[in-house]
Structure 1
């Protein structure tokens, strides 16, 4: 049977257009043209990056955003202005590096600390190192010249060296740190051993896509090349590369391409790790955390849910272990059953003095706003501060003190309220999702009603799911109902989302 089709003028025109496009594509291939994806061809405007960073800094209570200026050229961001402490300066860098499209951050923020003598600063830094449960046994020499703290001594890892510097930065009045601490590793390792461990740490880090990063090691020097999705991801990769035996890490070959991860996700599926693989990765991560490595903390994983158990002598070690586990690829929830048992009991009067001295040294906390009460190792904090950050920071500071077994935080704060229409809120959530380098906005859908945001869709990782929820809250949502599913776990439900953070 033969069929005959009548071709009208409209269909004839379509056919002509089809032939024309086909011929054009063939000519382009002959001339060597390679198609470019829409995302690769799209450059984020520098001015929009500036606005996004300014908005992010304004939401960060740890930073005085109104004193910081932001400029951007071809994705390279420069921060300038003033702040009164080093923690705030570092936080500004972290915030800027976490914005999509930022290739690198140049921090020219100057520190104008409170008026304090070098002798006062030296004493406080020494006391901070002595009273911090993780650094009290380190042999560190401290000197101060014009508010610049110079640190000398010996530790056994890069992570320990960074922790000493961080503790010194947390002292009120410090203007700069010169960290000259030497690293003496407990063992020597070959380049091959170093490379294998770096690759393993990159593969287990939820913040890094290890398939886009290549690792080479020459005489203990690690070279990272390839692609990362953000400047912040590059920082995480560098930290992962500092394993035992490493002399230096060069990440200049890591190029920031914010679209690379989204394009790659279309061509591959994220592998599901076995519980044993996740468990091993958690234990490896704990080894490199100087707040946890000294203790016998164990992990057990069932269906992606990690249970931590063991004994530590301070609360910060317990919290840090949970953070290490939640940052491990494959973990969907953390149950923290670690018990805090100080090696020696500290009398309530002495413990209260330690807490007060620690809060006085901190550049963020005004002790006069906080009342401290101690009972049998439990610390009760009362008073009123200006933000939820100050409330949480005060608790975090006390966690680090040996002898503290529990903190009851009764500090109150007055939250800032902002009224937005549902339309405005929806637009702001979309903006938040776009600027977050860890979220693919095309995979997340939302409904907004009376300030409540309902999120749906399917993402690749649990961390992406949490980031989407954080984006909604950062945009001003009154409440968020997170119904986003994770690939590989279509029917998994969480009763308490906070447990995976």
Structure 2
């Protein structure tokens, strides 16, 4: 008998039946904390998933979409999930959205104004690039009570430098060649009057999503990806082999610099990059803790990078008093849709923040730490938030009457998550569980896959995860070196 958290694998590994895909997504939703699976419906037709129903915040809606995109066999996702949030007074929500933008180190000086009516946030003003606009929306998705955005009057400045069609096409190809998350070997790019047309085949719906976003970052006014198809056979490791070949140190350095420059949180920092046999060292200064973290993340996503030594120092533009940092963290925690209903205490000493409290899951604990990390002026965060792991572990184990050994049941849930992951299903991952603690050993192709494997274990109910997965070193035989990407010609940036 199939238990609520274990899904029997389809007999054919080549084709995923629609019913199996639907069941896999629904079962993944059941173990997602902060998401009410009873309010979400999933339907699949020829690998195309349709999500309907309701969530209580924008982050949960996006999370549901990302989960579906990453499931093995999914060719695309259409979402009409509505957001039904708490009815907060407009004045309170106006205060929260304005505070979220003002308190964020990157968006604090953006020329963006917000008006609120019934949970709908209307944005006006001007930003310098598409990525800055996406950052504004990402910050505001983290405010509970926001149900949707109106962005027609949030414009992107047209500077003196406008990329030509040829430049847009070239930059997209170069960025795809250096992004470890995508395999663009079967992707064609064409640009006409700043409209980008993508054709060809990729292995996952998540890859397609990444490629579309990269196209917008280069200055495309619209991206037409109707003829960019997702096919299971395109996941073949032989098609990805060139991605993992060694790269010249100078080319890696240049690619990392471009990746960092694309990030609006980091690009104005004084960042020094060095590379030796795939190991990248970041030095210099950044303005805030979130920028330091994202610089490392961006470097790890570059082809040829096997590890990153992060020596970046945090140098805020102004000295923020400890009391102000503490108040900013408490305000951010209070307005967050996932942890805003919990009680926290925060202590700050010389920019070092310590967060205490109790939440209901590992996800909420990590969320609290992440929210605190985003405050202006904070130099480090000690996340001492507790979670009732014993109760959560017992809850998940009780749902497995066919498996009296809770460790056995947990290991099964983790393996099933890896099986249904488009990026992990063919990776060499071993799972062992002892007293609710999962240990992962083996190898994966990339750093993002290593992270995802651990996240899957936590979401399956692990109390703790010992992640001993190794990222495979580049193959000895080098493939032809892709052209190193040139720095993007961004619009004049008033924030630097």
TM-score bracket for the superposition, by shorter chain length: 0.7 to 0.9
- Report Cα offsets for 1:462-492 as digits up to 9, x if no partner: 55555556656665677667466726469xx
For the pair 1:98 / 2:64, whether they are aligned, the reply is: no
- Report Cα offsets for 1:253-289 as digits up to 9, x if no partner: 2101122121743987843222222221111111111
Which residue does the alignment assign to 1:35?
none
- How many equivalent pairs are there? 450
1:437 to 422, 434, 454: 422
Closer, same or farther: CA 272–462 of 1 in aligned 2, 3 Å = farther
Mean Cα deviation higher: 321-330 or 352-361: 352-361
Which residue does the alignment assign to 2:58?
86
Gaps of 5+ in 2: 1-10, 398-402, 477-496
Which residue does the alignment assign to 2:110?
138
- TM norm structure 2: 0.83
Q: Using the alignment, how far apart are the partners of 2:253 and 2:104 within structure 1?
A: 29
2:16 to 41, 44, 47: 44
Aligned-residue CA RMSD (Å): 2.8
For the pair 1:405 / 2:375, whether they are aligned, the reply is: no
Relative contact order: is structure 1 or structure 2 higher (C-alpha 8 Å, sep ≥ 6)? 2
Closer, same or farther: CA 62–252 of 1 in aligned 2, 3 Å = farther
- TM norm structure 1: 0.82
Gaps of 5+ in 1: 1-38, 491-501
Q: Using the alignment, how far apart are the partners of 1:138 and 1:465 within structure 2?
A: 35
Shift in Å at residue 125 of structure 1? 1.1
Q: Using the alignment, how far apart are the partners of 2:84 and 2:425 within structure 1?
A: 39
| Deviating 4+ runs (over 6 angstroms) | 266-269
Matches for 1:96-495 after TM superposition, within 5 Å: 96-180=68-152, 181-186=154-159, 187-262=161-236, 264-265=238-239, 270-366=244-340, 368-415=342-389, 416-417=392-393, 418=396, 421=405, 428-439=413-424, 441=426, 444=428, 446=430, 455-456=441-442, 460-461=445-446, 463-464=448-449, 467=452, 482=468, 486=472, 488=474
Shift in Å at residue 358 of structure 1? 1.8
Contact 1:472–1:480 under 8 Å retained in 2 = no
Q: Using the alignment, how far apart are the partners of 2:450 and 2:431 within structure 1?
A: 16
Q: Using the alignment, how far apart are the partners of 2:473 and 2:318 within structure 1?
A: 47
Which residue does the alignment assign to 2:43?
71
Contact 2:197–2:225 under 8 Å retained in 1 = yes
Contact 1:469–1:482 under 8 Å retained in 2 = no
Shift in Å at residue 131 of structure 1? 1.1
Describe the SS at the equivalent of 1:438: coil
Which residue does the alignment assign to 2:494?
none
Q: Using the alignment, how far apart are the partners of 2:447 and 2:217 within structure 1?
A: 26
Closer, same or farther: CA 47–135 of 1 in aligned 2, 3 Å = same
Closer, same or farther: CA 367–405 of 1 in aligned 2, 3 Å = farther
Closer, same or farther: CA 117–459 of 1 in aligned 2, 3 Å = closer
